[in-house]
Amino acid sequence: MDGIEASRFISEAYPDTRIIILTSFSDRSHIVPALQAGVIGRGSLKRRSKRSMMILVCDFSNK
């Protein structure tokens, strides 16, 4: 099971759960299926500090 499949499973089983993915992929062929699977946001792992990653996660979790 990959992240998109896991996101789809979680979204269907627990519809109130908000899912954020952290990925090194930035092309549409990876992003669009993730959003269709129920992901509310994504963060790029490329060139990001630990601090900025935590801020990103906190921002999405407060939506």
| pLDDT tens per residue across span 32-59 | 888 899 888 777 777 778 888 788 778 8
pTM: 0.67
- pLDDT above 70 covers a percentage of the chain that reads 98
The pLDDT-based confidence of 27 (bands split at 50, 70, 90) is: confident
**pLDDT at residue 63, as a whole number:** 65
Residue 11 to residue 39: CA distance in whole angstroms? 8
Q: Which pLDDT does position 15 carry in this prediction?
A: 92
The phi and psi torsions of 25 (rounded to 5 degrees) equal: -85, 140
Torsion of CA 18, 23, 27, 33, to 10 degrees: -40
β partners of residue 55: none
